[in-house]
Amino acid sequence: MTLGMVFEHLYLVIVSCVLVVVIGVPMGIFTYFHPRWGKVLLTAVDLIQTIPVLAIMGLLMAAFGANSVTTIIAMVLYLLLPIVRNTNTGLNSVSPVLKETADAMGMNRFQRLFEVEFPLAFPFILTGIRIAVVTAVGVAVFGTFVGGGGLGSILYRGIRIQNFELIMKGTVTLMLMSVFFDYLLGFIEKRQGGSYEKMEE
């Protein structure tokens, strides 16, 4: 196992998670503003996650070839659910009283969203991001089958030649990566939770 493999894996995780947040949060906002179409969109996102990620990668490989782009697109599609759903849930959880107060202050729909609703919904969104990031660490392993690289390569090689040491190195590195991201985002989540309570008071 080389440091390059670790950085390749981190690249897949970070790029896919940044993209899924950029795409997923606006989708979640759309589902909040348009409940009827939102149900259709949430159902579609749900269905995507029921498809095995390796199958998604295989289908995309026909269009984009065997490379990291295929892996990242597949990961983004697979990781949309927690971001979209938690954004929707967070915005819907904001107290109607606060919404009415914002309306009474003369705020328009978008002012209310960005100045009142979104800050209060952020802890929910952050939970979705946390789930997506930790999931991404594991899902990126499958990228090795479509030319994505990363730590999946060392695991696949270890299994293929029945080398327990290689398997353990890859597994332990993945575990440490998952724990690190989970702890980091969990810490931020707790800090945001405190801010959320103060805002509601």
Q: Provide CB contacts within 8 A for 177, sequence distance 6+.
A: 9, 10, 13, 137
pLDDT of residue 102: 87
- The pLDDT tens digits of the residues spanning 131-166 come to 999 999 999 999 988 888 888 888 988 988 888 888
- Residues whose CB falls within 8 Å of the CB of residue 134, separated by 6 or more in sequence, listed in order: 178, 181, 182, 185
Q: What is the pLDDT of residues 97-109, one digit of tens each?
A: 988 888 888 888 8
User: How confident is the model at residue 1, as a pLDDT?
Assistant: 62
Q: How confident is the model at residue 85 (pLDDT cuts 50, 70, 90)?
A: very high
Domains and CATH numbers, the chain: 3-200 (1.10.3720.10)
pTM over 0.85: yes
Q: Give the mean pLDDT of 67-86.
A: 95
Q: What is the pLDDT of residue 34?
A: 94
pLDDT at 185 over 60: yes
Q: Can you say how many angstroms the Cα of residue 174 is from the centroid of all Cα atoms in its chain? A: 17
Mean residue pLDDT of the chain comes to 90
Answer for the pair 166, 158: CB distance below 8 angstroms, yes or no.
yes
pLDDT at 132: 96
Model confidence pLDDT, tens digit, residues 186-198: 888 887 765 555 5
pLDDT at 80: 96
| Proportion of the chain above pLDDT 70, given as a percent | 95
Q: What is the CA radius of gyration of the chain?
A: 19
Mean pLDDT, rounded, for 92-96: 90
Helix%, strand%, coil% for the chain, nearest 5: 90, 0, 10
Across residues 159-178, what is the average pLDDT? 91
How far is Cα 10 from Cα 59, in angstroms, rounded to an integer?
A: 24
Distance, in Å, from the CA atom of 154 to the CA atom of 10, rounded to the nearest integer, reads 15
